[in-house]
Amino acid sequence: QKELSFDGARVMGIDASNQIILASGKAPGVGGEHVLRKISMLSSHEAHTIQLPPDTKVVKDICILPGGSALFASLGRRLSLFSMTTNSVVLECNLP
């Protein structure tokens, strides 16, 4: 068994069909920005750190959707649609 350390992980979502884990947290270093970490369950060496758009703040909830997407809500009062294919936020909605 192999372990993958990800200090400060806050919220996680698991895409069982594609065997991917998404975890939110802060990038290492002083004043680290908020990031998503995409980890392959098949190979722990396949881990990508994805920087989130400015003012996203702490991710509070992640929902894995069919078709390789994830929806997440953040304290920056945003709802964001994330493509696991392109590793990018493809749509953002500001919440009231």
**pLDDT tens readout for residues 38-91:** 988 888 677 888 988 888 888 999 999 998 999 999 998 999 999 999 999 999
Q: Is residue 3 assigned to a domain?
A: no
- Domains of the chain: total: 1
Q: What is the DSSP string of 15-74?
A: ETTTTEEEEEEE-SSTTPPEEEEEEESS-TT-EEEEEPPTT---EEEEEEETTTEEEEEE
Q: Is residue 78 assigned to a domain?
A: yes
Q: Is residue 4 assigned to a domain?
A: no
Query: How many CA within 13 A on the CB side of residue 21?
Result: 19
For residue 50, give the CATH number of its domain.
2.40.10
* pTM of the entire predicted model: 0.81
Instruction: Please give the residue range of the domain that contains residue 49.
Output: 12-94
Q: Is residue 52 assigned to a domain?
A: yes
Q: Is residue 19 assigned to a domain?
A: yes
Q: Is residue 61 assigned to a domain?
A: yes
Predicted confidence (pLDDT) per residue in 30-49, tens digit: 667 888 999 888 886 778 88
